[in-house]
């Protein structure tokens, strides 16, 4: 058990500014502001199904890549901390949603399930591999977000004011 003097707290904060720039294309600037500053430029688009031109990945592709990349990053980082030998990681992810549309109304979506198949290139025991995955699950920001109920606030700009939407 760590000494209470060993406990470190930190914040991870991202800001994002996105702008529509095409039929369904969005150009997005993502800025990590804590624990350090980095900026990333990316774009999203949709295929013809949504009236887009497929000029960039759809948002759900980034979401899927984010979840797989997050768990892989934590596995590699925590393997070092837990002194578990690791030569490589492969993850096969399946993220599944269902949509329902009635008449001309906008469709409504719901998650069906998310699964990650993890293949570790290691000589570690199965118990150590399971311990590593358990630690990585707790450290993956995206997985921890998905594992609980969350509130997403929305505001609409009306004139010079913001109202809850």
Query: Do 10 and 73 share a structural domain?
Result: no
Query: Do 89 and 146 share a structural domain?
Result: yes
Q: How many domains does the chain have?
A: 2
Query: Do 94 and 146 share a structural domain?
Result: yes
Q: Read off the CATH number of the domain in which 128 is found.
A: 3.30.300.20
Range of the domain at 87: 57-150
Residue 106 lies inside a defined structural domain of this protein: yes
Query: Do 82 and 133 share a structural domain?
Result: yes
Query: Do 9 and 29 share a structural domain?
Result: yes
Q: Using DSSP, state whether 157 is helix, strand or coil.
A: strand
Sign for the CA dihedral angle at 126, 74, 26, 114 comes to positive
Residue 127 lies inside a defined structural domain of this protein: yes
Provide the residue-wise pLDDT of the chain in tens; the chain has 165 residues.
556 678 889 999 999 999 999 899 999 999 999 999 999 999 999 999 889 999 999 999 999 999 999 999 999 999 999 999 999 999 999 999 999 999 999 999 999 999 999 999 999 999 999 999 999 999 999 999 999 998 999 999 999 999 999
Asked if omega into 35 is within 30° of 0 (cis), the reply is yes
Query: Do 64 and 20 share a structural domain?
Result: no
pTM for the whole structure: 0.87
d(CA 99, CA 160): 35
């Amino acid at each position: 058990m760590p000494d209470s003097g060993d406990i470190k707290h930190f914040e991870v904060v991202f800001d994002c500014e996105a702008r529509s720039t095409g039929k369904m294309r969005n150009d997005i600037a993502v800025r990590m502001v804590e624990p350090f500053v980095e900026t990333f430029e990316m774009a999203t688009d949709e295929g013809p199904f949504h009236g887009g031109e497929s000029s960039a990945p759809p948002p759900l592709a980034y979401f899927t890549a984010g979840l797989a990349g997050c768990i892989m990053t934590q596995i590699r980082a925590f393997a070092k901390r837990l002194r578990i030998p690791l030569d490589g990681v492969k993850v096969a992810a399946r993220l599944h949603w269902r949509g329902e549309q009635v008449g001309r109304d906008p469709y409504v979506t719901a998650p069906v399930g998310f699964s990650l198949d993890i293949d570790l290139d290691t000589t570690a025991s199965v118990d150590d591999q399971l311990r590593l995955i358990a630690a990585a699950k707790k450290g993956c920001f995206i997985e921890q977000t998905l594992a609980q109920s969350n509130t997403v606030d929305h505001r609409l700009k009306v004139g010079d004011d913001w109202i809850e939407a």
